[in-house]
A and B are shown apart, each in its own frame.
Chain A
Amino acid sequence: GEDVEQSLFLSVREGDSSVINCTYTDSSSTYLYWYKQEPGAGLQLLTYIFSNMDMKQDQRLTVLLNKKDKHLSLRIADTQTGDSAIYFCAEMRGTSYGKLTFGQGTILTVHP
């Protein structure tokens, strides 16, 4: 299978929480990232977590990392229509010297 996997679609109502999930396979991952891509734009770094952490919170964003299960999630509280975008999970492996491995991206659609 793919090195980094994400579900392709997520649809939520405005004001609800969104949870985007990601699984990875390499246990040497050092950093894990979440990027956001809006239509016609490049990737915007949202947040990242170091592999020795299990949680990081940044305003409306909460990242949870389960290193044993190689599972990463991004929770967006009080989701707004402006949060509609593609969200990419990426890992940097300990031996990769800067190479990020990306998932396919999750398309988040927020309905009013």
Chain B
Amino acid sequence: ETGVTQTPRHLVMGMTNKKSLKCEQHLGHNAMYWYKQSAKKPLELMFVYNFKEQTENNSVPSRFSPECPNSSHLFLHLHTLQPEDSALYLCASSQEAGAGEQYFGPGTRLTVT
């Protein structure tokens, strides 16, 4: 595998479910990011991790819980989501936060029913 991978690619979940999104980067980077892409809104940064430490939480509701066990892996744990949380969730990585270009994964298309 090369670049940034995300699983699953598509996810449908009910509002009471708990699920997790996974991101893995194979680029040797130290920073990882979660973005949300909704229809009719610009891409929104959610979280930034730099060397496994969270450096940015962009006022994200607590029903989204990130986890970064090491520099190569990033998770987004989801629970009691709302229909308006349906979106494309994109993961990205860069050499360090604030340094180097960000490379994106293909995204997870989430639908909350």
A residues sitting closer than 8 Å to B (CB atoms) are 2, 4, 31, 33, 35, 40-45, 48, 88, 90, 92, 96-105
Give the bracket for the number of chain B residues in contact with chain A.
20 to 34
Chain B interface helix/strand/loop/mixed: strand
Q: Taking each of A40, A43, A44, A104, which has the highest tally of chain B beta carbons within 10 Å of its own beta carbon? A: A43
Task: Count A/B pairs, Cβ under 8 Å.
Answer: 62
- The interface residues of chain A lying within 8 Å CB-to-CB of B92 are 43
CB of A40, distance to nearest CB on chain B (Å): 8
- The interface residues of chain B lying within 8 Å CB-to-CB of A104 are 41-42
On whether the beta carbons of B48 and A102 are closer than 8 Å, the reply is no
Which chain A residue lies CB-closest to B49? A98
Chain A interface helix/strand/loop/mixed: strand
Which chain A residue lies CB-closest to B50? A98
Residue from the list A41, A45, A103 in contact with B101, Cβ < 8 A: A45
Residue from the list A40, A41, A88 in contact with B43, Cβ < 8 A: A88
CB of A31, distance to nearest CB on chain B (Å): 8
Which chain B residue lies CB-closest to A3? B42
CB of A82, distance to nearest CB on chain B (Å): 18
- The interface residues of chain A lying within 8 Å CB-to-CB of B81 are none
